[in-house]
Amino acid sequence: MALDPLRLQDEKPPRAAAPGKKWVRVTKAVNGIDTEVWEEVADDAGGPQWAPRESMRLVSREVPRVDGPEKVTGRAVFTHDVRLPGMVYARVLRSRVPAAKVTLDLEPARKIQGVLAAVSLVDGDIDGEVRWLGRPIAAVAATTPELAEDGVRAIVAKYAELGFAVTEARAAADNAPKVNNRGNVIALSKNTDTKEVDEALAGSPVRVKGTWKIPVQHHASLESHGIVVDYRGGEEATVYASTQGTFTIPGDAAGRLGLKPNQVTAVVEHMGGGFGSKFGMGIEGEAACLLAKELQRPVHLLLDRASEFHAAGNRSGGEHELEAGVSPNGKIVAFKARVTRHGGVGRGSGHPLPYIYARDNAVFVEERCIHTNMDSSRAMRGPGHPQASFSMEGLMDECAYAVGMDLLEFRRINLPENKRELYMRQLEKCAELIGWRAHPHKNRPDLSDAEAKVGIGFAIARWGGGGNGQCKVEVRIAQDGSVEVLSGTQDLGTGTRTYCTTIVAEELGLELGQVRARIGRSSFGAANASGGSTTSPSLAPSVKHAAHNARLALFEKVAPLLGAKASELEVRPGEIRVSASPSRRIAWKDACASLGPNGLSAQGEWQAHLASSDIGGAQAAKVRVDTLTGEVKVLEMVAVQDCGLVLNLLAARSQLQGGMVQSLSYGLFEERVVDPDLGLFLNANFEDYKIAGAQDIPAMKAVFEDDPRGVIGMSEAAIIPGHSAIANAIHNACGVRLREMPLTADKILMGLAARKKG
């Protein structure tokens, strides 16, 4: 069993490993943020091993999702679908002002026929003071959703308004209203002074400078945040949650229900997306618990779409002011960055700049955050990396054009030596697939008078994606030959059930239909929360270990029947046989019949040698720009990714393509819009908050490299570089450098007009 992990301070373990143990670098997700730690694990290289890729029947093949039929037929039960005897429905009231002292009169709501309870959410810790727009301040439970909404409208809320700043410009201004007691502008880090960098910049023959502006993006999960709390009094409760962490729920709910964590069972049958936003219960979960405790009956509370936009987190925006000095041979010799995070009442997320490139030269980076009276940002798929990619990849292209160098060659020169071969291999493959070599203007934008112009752009990404020892798995083999694999882990829609099934079926020589994966319940074995792409590299090795142990236990039972030793047996599809004498065999069902009524059970835990970490990826985009209308059409996107052992090629390709789609949407469409004077969120709905639709999706190619390592999570890496490649392609197409997302037609037209004026 792993010992407590230690945060990674340097490249060496903190001390010598205990006997029979070894230190490994693992990845843990803290609120969705990838954090590397040292963890001491069993030195068990002689345990289960992944078979050679070419010999696998199910793992690393294209396998349809085992829960696909349930989802397409509507049988899959999401949290919103839960219906329980005596259940009531709840809705929340949001603060209509960004900063205020709030007093509530709940009695008018309680007097409405069908309204059963109303609770304040602004008592206690915040003492009636609201500091961000849309914060839930009260909740109402009623016999129908409509009556609950009537109850919310009946609440009398009085606001003693305080000064507010919902935009960063207002918050950073002199005499701005205080968002919190720490100050609106917080210095986060400064790696050195500027003298060395300023001198290197002054001596550089080529200097490139720009400011990149990054909007706030919302998670836009199709299933909104919320839970169903089944508490009827007594000493136990069941909580159905749309969450990325089954085991984050019992402790949070227990505190609100007055129970112990082991008296609360969390259930996550299916969920409709989280992307980093669904760790813990949130205010809405606390409200459901308070109502259930008062009523002692089940409470169903999921946020409506407007509340989802106001109060369920977002990807932080930011502003990156970058400058680079470049030598005549294309080497970046100096890099300077001033980074501002926009995280609402939170600090936002960021990744150290320079991102991937030019890290061994004169570098100065200063980072700060600006607080506003808006909901706090949360982790969102690759936290900090997409923001860093946008500015850094744009700077790389501008530097390459400034020295008249091929975009790929310029990147090769400025990549870190230990990653140069990896990234160049991926970039060259992207170039081949997208037609870069035949592209007519590789080293310069198209400045002709053509109405329609085509451009190509590139970008790269890195991610940890490693696993850790939190997962415990059980495999059960029944007397009738049926097999179950049990784990408390959750499936966010990424295919967790499917690879649990395929790994066990592969190990036992079975078909998919003979194995059932039971997951998403805290009464099953422990599991980590799904963040930082840590689920697959944590869970898959544990499933493999449990299946391996189940196979060995079955061999011990069957060996006497075949007159052989357990070590002499092997599985083949549908049977167990003596490896040296294949005619001595027994059918799977006959072997299981010998187990007796209790069957057998085997446990598994994380095997460090079956996982790995640290991945890279490259993407390219081809776009067409209409210079008369400014319209951008993405024609094609290509991604080349390494990620160790691919558990399910079909699902992994879906993840990579999904990342490209989400990145395209981020780059071209998505932006939170607020009115700085009125303090209003102007596009808190799916009509005005634009996301990519079917007509916006280009032809896509997703390629996985032959990577001999163990399992590594890759979905975070998929989202990081796409929008950057699109921005670079727009510049390559028409000569307009857009340093502000979304990359909209009006900005292109203004850029073209400015270029014509010189």
pLDDT band at 17 (very low <50, low <70, confident <90, very high): confident
Query: Of 170-179, 186-195, 262-271, 678-687, which gets the smallest average pLDDT?
Result: 186-195
pLDDT at 8 exceeding the cut of 70: no
Q: What is the pLDDT of residue 553?
A: 98
pLDDT band at 126 (very low <50, low <70, confident <90, very high): confident
pLDDT at 27 exceeding the cut of 80: no
Q: Where are the beta strands (DSSP E) in 425-493?
A: 452-463, 472-477, 483-486
User: Is 500:519 a contact under the CB 8 Å cutoff?
Assistant: yes
Q: What is the pLDDT of residue 443?
A: 86
Query: Of 16-20, 258-262, 359-363, which gets the smallest average pLDDT?
Result: 16-20
Query: Of 40-54, 242-256, 461-475, 585-599, which gets the smallest average pLDDT?
Result: 40-54
Mean pLDDT of 654-677: 98
Q: What is the pLDDT of residue 35?
A: 73
Q: Where in the chain is the domain with CATH 3.90.1170.50?
A: 79-163+219-311
Please give the structure tokens belonging to residue 92.
């929340």
Query: Taking the CB of residue 364, how many other CB atoms lie within 10 A of it?
Result: 21
Angstrom distances, CA of residue 416 to CA of 412, 413, 421, 422, 709 = 9, 8, 9, 10, 21
Q: Residue 742, preceding bond cis, omega within 30 degrees?
A: yes
Q: What is the pLDDT of residue 660?
A: 98
CATH 3.30.365.10 fits 53-76+467-610, yes or no: yes
Please give the structure tokens belonging to residue 736.
């307009």
> What are the DSSP calls for 384-429, one per residue?
THHHHHHHHHHHHHHHHHHTT--HHHHHHHHS-HHHHHHHHHHHHH
Mean pLDDT of 219-234: 97
Q: What is the pLDDT of residue 359?
A: 80
d(CA 65, CA 223): 20
Residues 6+ apart with CB under 8 A from 531: 29, 30, 31, 32, 33, 244, 245, 276, 279, 379
Burial class (CB in 10 A: 0-12, 13-18, 19+), 108: middle
d(CA 438, CA 427): 15
* 674-675 and 680-681 strand pairing: antiparallel
pLDDT at 574 exceeding the cut of 60: yes
Q: What is the pLDDT of residue 43?
A: 64
Question: Which CATH number is 419-462+612-758's, of 3.10.129.10, 3.20.20.370, 1.10.3720.10, 3.30.365.10?
Answer: 3.30.365.10
Mean residue pLDDT of the chain comes to: 95
Please give the structure tokens belonging to residue 689.
């908050």
Q: Percent of the chain scored above 90 by pLDDT?
A: 91
Q: What is the pLDDT of residue 4?
A: 44
User: Is 675:738 a contact under the CB 8 Å cutoff?
Assistant: no
d(CA 423, CA 419): 6
User: Is 472:527 a contact under the CB 8 Å cutoff?
Assistant: yes
pLDDT at 23 exceeding the cut of 80: no
Q: What is the pLDDT of residue 34?
A: 66
User: Is 701:638 a contact under the CB 8 Å cutoff?
Assistant: yes
Q: What is the pLDDT of residue 26?
A: 77
Mean pLDDT of 664-670: 98
Residue type, 557: K
Q: What is the pLDDT of residue 30?
A: 67
pLDDT band at 3 (very low <50, low <70, confident <90, very high): very low
Query: Of 1-15, 243-257, 480-494, which gets the smallest average pLDDT?
Result: 1-15
State the DSSP H helix or E strand holding residue 626, giving kind and residue range, or none if neither: strand 615-626
Q: Where in the chain is the domain with CATH 3.30.365.10?
A: 53-76+467-610, 419-462+612-758
Render pLDDT for 456-512 as a digit per residue (tens, 0 to 9): 999 999 999 999 999 999 999 999 999 999 999 999 999 999 999 999 999 999 999
Q: What is the pLDDT of residue 5?
A: 47
Q: Where are the beta strands (DSSP E) in 519-614?
A: 569-572, 575-578, 581-587, 600-605
Query: Taking the CB of residue 88, how many other CB atoms lie within 10 A of it?
Result: 25
CA 157 to chain centre: 37
Q: What is the pLDDT of residue 1?
A: 35
Three-point CA angle 467, 601, 47, nearest 5°: 45
Mean pLDDT of 67-91: 97
- Side-chain-side CA neighbours of 74 within 13 Å: the count stands at 1
Question: Which CATH number is 79-163+219-311's, of 3.30.420.40, 3.90.1170.50, 3.40.30.10, 3.50.7.10?
Answer: 3.90.1170.50
Angle in degrees, 0-180, between the axes of helices 417-434 and 407-414, rounded to the nearest 10: 160
